Structures are given as C-alpha cells and as structure tokens.
Structure 1
C-alpha cells in the first residue's frame, strides 16, 4: 500500500516543515509535471493527488478552486491556481506562502487528501489482470501447426494464412476423435469464441468457404500476430488497465519541462512489452453486451491508448496526408473486428457519422461493427479524445461509473482554456477551437445553437458571464483559432 503522501519529502529540512503544498494533478499532464518540479526545486513538501484515481474528490476540489482544470495548487489552505499562476506569483507573495507552509501546521480547512482505504480503488498501473487460459486455446494452437493453414484461392484472389471450413472439420474428426456432427459444432464454437473469422463474412460452414485466425488478420492491426489465449476478459476492465499502463509509460518518459515525450524510450520499455501482450487480449472481448456507459469509457480509453501506440510503431504524422493515413490506418482488432481510430471516433462514438474529409459513413448497413455504434453522436467525447498533438484535450482514463459527469468535467476544463475558447463581450466576438468547426453538427446546426451548447457546459466563471452577454446581443461573430498539430514527440 503506497503512502498517503505521494510526493515524498526529499531531505531533513523538508521533513521538519509543518504544512504542505497540495497539488491535484492527472498522470501524463505536462503542466502538472512542471508545477511539481518547480515546487520541489523550492524545497517544499509536495503532496500530489492523482485525480484520475481519486475522482471522489473532484466536487470538493472544484468548490475550493472554482476550476475543472489541473493542476490546482494549494499552500496549506491557500489556493494559488494552476501552473501559470504559480510561475507568475510575485516574489514577495511566493515568499509569504513558503513561510506559511514552513511555519504553520496544516489547518483543518485544508484541501482534502484521499482516504487510505481508497488509494488503490481506481485504476491499475502495473498491468496485473487475471488471465485464465481458454479451454480451447491449446486445440487452436495444435491446429495452427498441423500444416493446413496456408494460401488458398478465392476466385481470382489469393487468401494467405487461410483454411477451409471443411479442413478444420476434417482435422477435428481425425485428430480429436470427434464424430462429423460434433466436429462441425466444435468449429462453430471456436468461431463464436472469436478464434477465427470468415474471409467473406459468412457463418461457419463445412465447405470450401475460407476462414482465418484472428492473429493472421491482414489489416495490420497493432495487436495481432499473436493468439489471444486468455478466456475473454471484461472489456471495461481491460480498457482501464491498458489506458492506465499507457498513461504511466507516457508520464515516465515526459521531458523535465513536461513538453515532450521520448517515444523511443517508451518503445524500449519492458512495461511497453507487457502492454502489447495485454492488448492482444482485445481480440476476443465481448462488445455487443456493453451498455452505453461501458461503450463510452471502453472506446475512449482504447482510442487514447491506440494514438500513442500508433506514434510508437509508425511515428508521428507530420502533414495533412500523413494524418489522414494515420487515423484511417492505425487500428486494433477488437472483439473479432478491426477498428481504426476513425472507426472508433466517427463510427462508434459519433453514432456512425461521417468524419472530417470522409465521403461515406464508417460502417455500412451490413457491417457487424454497426451493432456496437452508439445510437447518436455524443458531443462530449471530443474533449476526452487525445489525438497526440499539443492542442488536444488532456489525457486521462474514464470509467463506466459516472462517465457522463467525467466527460462534463473534461468539457468544462477544455472550455476554461483560453487556447480553446475566448470570449470578448465588448466586441461581441467568440473564438473557438477548430474542433467546433470540424464537428459543428454535433453541437448545433447554427452558431447560436453551438454557443448555447457551450454556455450550458461551462462552469460558473467570468467567461461564462461574458458569453451570456454575447448571446443576449443581436449580433455576434464566431471565428476559429488555428489548431496546433505539432507533435509532442522528442526528436
């Protein structure tokens, strides 16, 4: 069990101090890293609270800070603000606050720390998960080595690493001693358990119809080339673990100033190897039984992890064409189906709507992935998806429980940022992130509807009051700020 003080004192002088500096942060947040580094350079006792793991404290912290962004910094019970606020403190004010922490004990009204018995409740950063070997994994592994799998013709097309349904039935009858009907039923069971797929979308049949093991999927998904041998895992649990593992890797390899990620070092990490091993288990998770809340949390977590995985394997896209290919190519095999980043965002989370520069909807009416798509677009997902560029929303892990309130917090934090939303009531002008331009239909068909949506998702603040004043005016202007596509990768 880790210590309650997640930012341990560094020396004897620090241990003798009476008070504390509390920093509410999120794993992988560059501004949080900068703030903590600066505070420790000042020799202050830093107590970090990861809000991604202790969401039960969000309401109280927001009441005290009046903001939804991180970091939020308190010297004893005095609220300083975020990283920028810390760095712009007047020298005499900083000195006063430092004396406060060194000379006065923590007051009763100090901001809250997590209760000790809640420390490990949320999140899993070490990748430990119960994996029971599937009862049919050994059988499939034997079939894989029997020499049947190879190149087969389907019309004029060569299908590599494939086998015919009749070949599997023959092998089960010959090698496993099953009678013909039971061998056929076993083939159906193996397909239902997502060990293999049909090359042409058919059900399992005892014929020349071709099938392919999931690990041989030809779509270059980043979690294939190895068989998922665990009994199907709970999708929500697996996505949280994978996301937390990737966040930890990301955070561990952030530069000292919190601005760049050393992706090469991440790719060499043993923890990344463990991540890849677990990602293989996505191949056979069950998606069709997920609730709306479970789908939201699962696919947001997987999208955010997949972006970083794509950067590690393929490098960061540098121009518009590379970005288009990246989001339409980088994929995972999930529940027996391939999902690219575009498929997850526009197909599942936006209710099968066309994305930017897309001529068609991601899923056709006959596409089995359509069964997984949300019935309607969820606008709040745009503030939770991390695209790997510096201008994107902050990254964190989402849980099915209270997913809507978590997404609302993400939206409030996004809208508090002046790089994402600026309001000039005197001029009647509103400047917004390009996200609102690209996905305007998700927020409203007109500027007025879109601004009202934004107003309803802002936390109480002077900016919200200014937007109310703009909407009351008869005329206003909406424009969009340039999007920062520069990557956060270390050269």
Structure 2
C-alpha cells in the first residue's frame, strides 16, 4: 500500500519527464491495479494452519514447547497479519476468519513471550497489553475481542477464540478459513456445548460455562441462553431449567 501511495505522488513528475507518456502511463496503471488487487485480497492462513496441526492436538491441548521451536515461523505469520489488515472489499467471513486467527495466534505469541507460565493470568494485564500492531494501528487482545469480533454479531466466535486456558473453548488444530467458516463455527459451538468438562447438561438443570454469563447479551439473537444451548445440545433442555455457572479454570491449556 505504501508503494501505491508513492506512485500516486510521483505520477505527475514521471509523466512530464517521460517521452513515451502513453506507454508509461499504461505500465503504471497496470502496476497500481495489481498492487490494489493484492492489497484487497484476504490473507492466506496456511502457515498458521501448519503450525496448529503440528503443535495442537485434536482435543485442543497445546504443545507450547513445540511452538517455541517454531517461533520464527509463527512470527512470519504474524508479520503477514500485521501488513495485511482487512479491507472494505473483504467479505464478513474473510474478516471474521482473519480476526479469529489473529486473536489465537497473538495469544500463543503472548504465552511464548512469557513462557513458562502456569496460567495466562500470571501475565500482567494479558488482555490489555497493546502489543499487537496491524496496519500501523495498535491493539490489545481485548480490543480484538470486544471492539472488533463481538461487534460483528456472530456469537459463535466465543467458541473459536481461545484464551490459553483449560475452561476456554479448545484451540482448533486447523486455521479458520472464510470458505469453511460457518461449518467450523457450528462444529466449535456444538463441541463446546456438549463437552462435559465445560458444561453439565440435563433436561431440568444445567451448570454451564461462565462464558454464557459474561457474554449473555451476545446470544440474544437466539432468544434465551437455553434456546442457544438447545440449538447445539444433544440433550433437550426444558425452557424453565435451572441454570448455574461453573467455576472457570484458568490453568494453561497444555
């Protein structure tokens, strides 16, 4: 994008100093079109996908020691995110996939930078640290979650973003991608709701994750919390079932 702006600035000088203006302008136009097309394209998440498949189990256990050996590769992916912020031309799913992957990848980065730790809460202000720079803007993990993802009106993001803790939804061992995102979010929600280590569900009573308490307003599009649970639970819950919330285990998800 910087090259694009530089060309816009230099075009007048170039045109008047070049004897073959028509051919030169055509070449410049082609370059600018290619630059704009590249800038507007969504990010390829294959590097992150490879890292997840290598260092995260199918049950969401993260091998942070393994990630340590691939810190350079992780940084390469983060650098791609930093220089390829979502543009207005991206679809909603492209933006969602980008920000979900960014949240998860930068969370892993935060853990690695402070490793070894027993919990993300051992790190000072983990969700308020403004250590993420994307397109010259500074973000914290909290900014990505609350100011970007939650404002996109997709409550299933709560089962896709991972806070490096045991009670969090599992870190998926593949990257989120726009063309498969809806199915991936459905699978993540269904897996979380029916995970008995996260939620205890019966017909007349449920003891569920505090995620449903902390972010209750995000699920209103489904009706009540019970309505949302019934969209994914293998056990049908009565509308007047008693609701309790489980204690949250912040131990590292390793």
Counterpart for residue 232 of structure 2? 457
* Equivalent pair of 1:431/1:478 in contact (CA under 8 Å): yes
Cα distance in 2, alignment partners of residues 258 and 319 from structure 1: 16
For the 8 Å contact 1:236–1:400, the answer to whether it is kept is: no
1:42-441 equivalence runs, <5 A: 136=3, 232=39, 234-237=41-44, 240-251=45-56, 261-263=63-65, 266-267=67-68, 269=69, 271-288=70-87, 289-315=89-115, 316=117, 318=119, 320=121, 322=123, 325-329=125-129, 331-351=131-151, 374=152, 377-396=153-172, 397-425=175-203, 428-441=204-217
What is the deviation of 1:232? 4.7
Which residue pairs with 2:26 in the alignment? none
C-alpha change, 1:278 and 1:456, in structure 2 (3 Å) is closer
Mapped to 2, the partners of 1:258 and 1:415 lie a distance apart of: 15
Change (3 A) 1:431 1:338: same
Note closer, same or farther for the CA distance 1:476–1:320 as it changes in structure 2 (3 Å cut): same
Give secondary structure in 1 for the equivalent of 2:184: helix
What's the secondary structure of 2:224's corresponding residue?
A: helix
| In structure 2, distance between residues paired with 1:480 and 1:261 | 29
Residue 87 of structure 1: aligned partner: none
* Structure 2 SS opposite 1:430: strand
TM-score, normalization by structure 1: 0.40
Answer with 1 or 2: which has the greater Rg. 1
Distance 1:330 1:485, change over 3 A: farther
Aligned in 2, Cα 1:442/1:485: closer, same or farther, shift over 3 Å? Answer: same
Cα distance, 1:454–1:331 mapped onto 2, change above 3 Å: farther
Q: Which residue of 1 aligns with 2:248?
A: 483
CA distance in 2, matches of 1:280, 1:340: 16
Gaps of 5+ in 2: 15-31, 33-37
Change (3 A) 1:135 1:345: closer
Deviation string, structure 1 residues 202-246 (Cα, Å, up to 9, x no partner):
xxxxxxxxxxxxxxxxxxxxxxxxxxxxx7584331xx2242143
Query: After the TM superposition, which segments of 4 or more aligned residues of structure 1 sit over 6 Å from their partners?
Result: none
Contact 1:384/1:395 (8 A) holds in 2: yes
| Secondary structure of 1:281 counterpart | helix
Q: Using the alignment, how far apart are the partners of 1:276 and 1:319 within structure 2?
A: 20
Are 1:297 and 1:399, in contact at CA under 8 Å, matched by a contact in 2? Answer: yes
Structure 1 residues 327 and 404, CA gap change in structure 2 (3 angstroms): same
Are the aligned partners of 2:120 and 2:164 in contact in 1 as well (CA < 8 Å)? no
| Alpha-carbon distance, 1:457 to partner | 3.0
Structure 1 stretches lacking a partner, 5+ long: 1-133, 140-168, 173-177, 180-192, 194-230, 352-373
Instruction: Report how many residues are paired.
Output: 223
Which structure dedicates a bigger proportion of its chain to helix? 2
Question: C-alpha offsets along residues 9-56 of structure 1, whole Å, 9 cap, x if unaligned?
Answer: xxxxxxxxxxxxxxxxxxxxxxxxxxxxxxxxxxxxxxxxxxxxxxxx
Partner SS, residue 168 of structure 2: coil
After superposition, the C-alpha distances for 1:100-138 in whole angstroms (9 at most, x for unaligned) are xxxxxxxxxxxxxxxxxxxxxxxxxxxxxxxxxx9959x
